[in-house]
Amino acid sequence: MALTLLASAGTLIPATALAQSAYDAQFTEYPTYSGDDLELLVDDSGTHFRLWSPKAQETRVLLYDNGHTGKAFQTLPMTFDAANGTWTASLPEKLYGKFYTFQIRHDGKWLDETPGVWAKAVGVNGQRAAIIDLAKTNPAGWCCDRGPEVKNFSDVIIYEMHHRDFSVDPSSGIANKGKFLALTEPGTTTPQGLATGIDHLKELGITHVHILPSYDYNSVDEANLQLNQYNWGYDPQNYNAPEGSYSTNPSDPESRVREMKQMVKALHDAGIGVIMDVVYNHTAENDGSNFELTAPGYYHRHWDDGRYSDASGCGNETASDRRQMHDYIVNSVKYWADEYHIDGFRFDLMAIHDTETMNDVAAELKKINPSIFVYGEGWTAGDSPLAIDRRALKENVSAMTDIAVFSDDLRDAVKGHYSNAEDRGFATGKPGNEETVKIGIVAATAHPQVDFSKGNNSKFPYAKSPEMIVNYVSCHDDLTLTDKLRKSMPEASDSLRQAAAKLAQTIVFTSQGTPFMFAGEEVFRDKKGVHNSYKSPDSINAIDWTLKSRNADLFNYYKGLTALRKAHPAFRMTSAEQIARHLVFDKIDSAKQPNLISYSLKDNANGDEWKEIKVILNGADTPQTVNIAKGDWRIVAIDGKISPQADLGAMQGGKTTVAPCSALILARVK
């Protein structure tokens, strides 16, 4: 029986391929090229094309007046440079306003036209690349635009959102519904007069918005936007151009570029960073992808029998372990950071990539802006020819530098397993998850009081530093927290479910590592019980902002969580040693008192102004008693209320009762 490894969120991956695929051997002789003039460069001497395609028999450029209709007005043959595998052609004019495609002859036949893999602007539906002057797309003040400075990644508070979810509902009061520009509109409100849009984000207190895929993706027909199509966007088409359906005019190649920059600028002006979800791990199409149409066989992995391997679960996977693909990923994120001032990247199914590529991604981005945060899903969705020890897995995160992974440990332990809707977790009264929650609290770093062998998912302290961990209880995948609570607590009232939501997010926001939340949870947003809503209509996915007044108490609690975390560095320690020294769990026998965790952040942890912070988490549906050291304690959170100023009253310690399904947080100021 083959060795297996728990590499994914519960997916067993057979180690069928500890050695590199023999299929790879054919590519070792390929010359590579990573200059920034790949595919298109316009300068004073004209317009220059350079396509990397080492094994093409012939290549040509087709020039068009229009982004998707009409015949080519000119076809240019290209000249091969065997030293670097590229084909070139030039014209002496600056061809701004025109469009182009490449075509290669492979195995004796001309393949379909492709905009290439480096199109930075495209016509409607991304079939043809556009020649535009990028400098003309910059909004006013762009030269001085900069995202928030991040000293430590544990200072970041992530808000994951889809453009359409966030603004498309009439209750958003936003004019540019479902567009990049939605995030540039100040002063928008719900019918009840509460802030929406960018003002809502400022009010909530998050530091970074994580936007679901916003590069050009395949599924939404940009020429028929009146159909109100919806997709998450995990079906990449052109990696270096923004998605057209989020622009006000997909037929104008400049508009999507300009409007995405306007969005970034508006968020930066509000002090909020922008993180992009990137999906370099696979392409929407197999043989029809731009990768295959420029360099057949090269960019994707295959099994030895020639079949596409499929670690993405979407039909194929890319090959970051090959030099040209490695360079492509590194140069593409650099491009987004340089041209669009992007502040972070979330790598989808990051373990499809090799650790070396991810390390180079982080190192190169750091040179551009040390505040850029890189994190990803440390798992795959299927087996891969890439050797397990090379995969950017959660379990391999300590082999990487400046890369963080999502903690599925905390996620599943707090609310119940993601794949079983009815399953409950620590915050909803199911015993047996205490040690795994503690793994989350210490950000999966080695801690003398945490027994990793009792962990549900991971069995060893896989993170060398809390900056390697992103904590969350829900995201766009799977049920929203609201739906999860409704399905796993079918008899409960929504007010009891909101108590559980508060407890669950209190665990996320007080744990070491970086907290992450899904847009709309702060107003108890649901998706009508649909867990895989990737192409569900707005009626499922749109956030109903009238919930903000109906669930004002919950929203205020979330505001309290962000404010508490921002004001208190004790929740944001920066090293495993600090956590092991300053975070001390109280002895609790989980057999006698299940669903109870109590710990202190001691001795002005990480320079905190508070001498000691006590966090007591009671996930049981009954009150529980803890013994707290005598002293002058001020109350920070109690019975579903929270005050970052610790002005909810005082306690003297001793035997203290914690209400069911709630967090008690106390502070000893000196």
Enumerate the active-site residues: 348, 377
Question: How many other CB atoms sit within 10 Å of the CB of residue 580?
Answer: 17
Q: What angle do CA 201, 203, 208 make, to 5 degrees?
A: 35
Q: In 3-state terms, what secondary structure has residue 411?
A: helix
What is the C-alpha to C-alpha distance for residues 38 and 550, in angstroms, rounded to an integer?
Answer: 53
- Contact letters for Ca ion, residues 241-270 (x by CB under 5 A): ---x--------------------------
Interface stretch with Ca ion, choices 31-39, 214-222, 262-270, 488-496 (CB under 5 A): 214-222
Shortest spacing between CB 168 and Ca ion, in angstroms: 17
- Contacts of 282 by beta carbon, 8 Å cutoff, 6+ apart: 236, 312, 314, 315, 316, 317, 318, 349, 352
How far apart CA 488 and CA 497 sit, in angstroms, is: 10
Looking at this protein, which amino acid is placed at residue 233?
Answer: G
**Distance (Å) of CA 667 to CA 253, 499, 513, 614:** 55, 22, 21, 6
Residue 182 three-state SS? helix
Minimum distance from residue 215 beta carbon to Ca ion (Å): 9
Neighbour tally for 72: CB within 10 Å: 18
Supply the minimum distance, in Å, between the C-beta of residue 125 and Ca ion. 6
CA dist 80 and 207 (Å) reads 48
Classify strands 612-618 and 662-668 as parallel, antiparallel or unpaired: antiparallel
The CB density around residue 31, as the number of other CB atoms within 10 Å, is 14
> Nearer Cβ to Ca ion, position 244 or 429?
244
Going by C-beta distance under 8 Å and a sequence separation of 6 or more, which residues neighbour residue 34?
324, 327, 328, 331
Q: Contacts with Ca ion: how many residues (CB under 5 A)? A: 2
Closer CB to Ca ion, residue 235 or residue 402? 235
Judged by CB under 5 A, the chain residues 160 through 179 that form the site for Ca ion are none
Choices 239-247, 387-395, 440-448, 489-497 (CB under 5 A): range interacting with Ca ion = 239-247
| Span from 209-217, 299-307, 554-562, 644-652 in contact with Ca ion (CB under 5 A) | 209-217
Min. distance of Cβ 169 from Ca ion in angstroms?
23
Rounded least distance, CB 588 to Ca ion, Å: 52
Q: Which is nearer to Ca ion, 66 or 549 (CB)?
A: 66
Q: Which stretch binds Ca ion (CB under 5 A): 15-23, 26-34, 240-248, 482-490?
A: 240-248
Distance CA 304, CA 308 (A): 9
Segment 402 to 441, residues that bind Ca ion, using CB under 5 A: none
Q: Does 185 bind Ca ion (CB under 5 A)?
A: no
Residue with Cβ nearer Ca ion (122 or 443): 122
The CA distance from 342 to 261, in Å, is: 9
Applying CB under 5 A, among 113, 160, 216, 522 the residue interacting with Ca ion is 216
Tell me the torsion sign for CA atoms 17, 19, 24, 25: negative
Residue, CB closest to Ca ion: 216
Nearer to Ca ion, 214 or 510 (CB): 214
Cα 126 to Cα 163, 222, 249, 259, distances in angstroms: 19, 9, 13, 17
Task: Kindly give the pairing relationship between strand 633-638 and strand 650-651.
Answer: antiparallel
Please count the residues of the chain: 670
CB of 208 to Ca ion, least distance (A): 25
Helices (H), 341-469: 355-368, 408-415, 434-441
CB of 258 to Ca ion, least distance (A): 17
Closer residue to Ca ion (CB): 72 or 124: 124
The smaller minimum CB distance to Ca ion, of residues 216 and 354, is found at 216
Nearer to Ca ion, 236 or 560 (CB): 236
Smallest separation (angstroms) from Ca ion to the CB of 240: 13
Minimum CB separation from Ca ion for residue 251, in Å?
A: 12
- At its nearest, how many Å lie between Ca ion and the CB of residue 132? 17
Q: Which stretch binds Ca ion (CB under 5 A): 215-223, 282-290, 450-458, 471-479?
A: 215-223
Nearer to Ca ion, 216 or 608 (CB): 216
In the chain, the N- to C-terminal Cα span, in Å, equals: 59
Count Cβ atoms below 10 Å from residue 393 Cβ, excluding itself.
Answer: 25
Q: Rounded distance, CA 344 to CA 369, Å?
A: 10
Secondary structure of residue 34 in the 3-state scheme: coil
Q: What is the DSSP string of 229-249?
A: ------SEEEEEEE-GGGSS-
Give the separation between CA 635 and CA 614, rounded to whole angstroms: 10
Tell me which residues in 570-589 interact with Ca ion (CB under 5 A): none
Rounded Cα–Cα distance for residues 600 and 147 (Å): 34
Measured CA to CA, the distance from residue 446 to residue 357 in angstroms comes to 26
Dihedral Cα 494, 497, 501, 502, nearest 10 deg: 80
Query: Between 8 and 218, whose beta carbon lies closer to Ca ion?
Result: 218
Query: Which of 54, 236 has the CB closer to Ca ion?
Result: 236
Stretch that binds Ca ion, among 37-45, 210-218, 293-301, 383-391 (CB under 5 A): 210-218
For the bound state, the minimum distance from the C-beta of residue 338 to Ca ion, rounded and expressed in Å, comes to: 22
- Residues making contact with Ca ion (CB under 5 A): 216, 244
